[in-house]
């Protein structure tokens, strides 16, 4: 059925729709000034339903996703990407260790 899997672009688009449905259902996005008051309870209820079922769908879509390139993933990593990532990890790790060492030194004395 899913011989080639689901293209990553569809995963992103479905994820955005589910994210918006969750935001409306939780009250983060409020339509009180944009829509008639009679419509708001129905929209909230449907957004909650879409969010719950959408999370189930996204879980399943992740299992059958393809190995194709998507919006943010190319076929080849950019030149120097490995070195930049390694540099970032080393610098951020050093900063975290230095902050921890200062906190331990200040606590000890």
Those residues with Cβ within 8 angstroms of residue 12's Cβ, 6 or more apart along the chain or in another chain: 70, 71
54: enclosing H helix or E strand: helix 40-63
pLDDT for 2 equals 46
Bridge partner list, 6: 65
Bridge partner list, 65: 6
pLDDT at 32 over 70: yes
Could you report the per-residue pLDDT of 56-66, keeping only the tens digit for each?
888 777 666 66
Per-residue pLDDT averaged across 2-10, rounded? Answer: 67
- Boundaries of every domain in the chain: 8-68
pLDDT for 97 equals 76
Could you report the per-residue pLDDT of 68-101, keeping only the tens digit for each?
665 555 566 667 777 888 888 888 888 777 766 6
pLDDT for 65 equals 64
Residue pair 27/8 in contact (Cβ under 8 Å)? The answer is no
pTM exceeds cut of 0.75? no
Q: Is 65 helix (H, G, I), strand (E, B) or coil?
A: strand
């Amino acid at each position: 059925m899913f011989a080639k899997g689901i293209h990553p672009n569809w995963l992103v688009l479905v994820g955005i729709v589910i994210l918006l449905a969750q935001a409306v259902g939780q009250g983060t996005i409020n339509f009180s000034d944009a829509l008639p008051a009679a419509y708001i309870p129905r929209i909230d209820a449907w957004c909650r339903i879409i969010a719950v079922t959408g999370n189930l769908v996204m879980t399943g879509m992740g299992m059958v996703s393809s190995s194709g390139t998507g919006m943010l993933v190319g076929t080849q990593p950019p030149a120097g990407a490995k070195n930049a990532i390694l540099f970032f990890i080393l610098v951020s790790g050093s900063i975290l260790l230095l902050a921890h060492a200062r906190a331990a030194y200040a606590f000890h004395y």
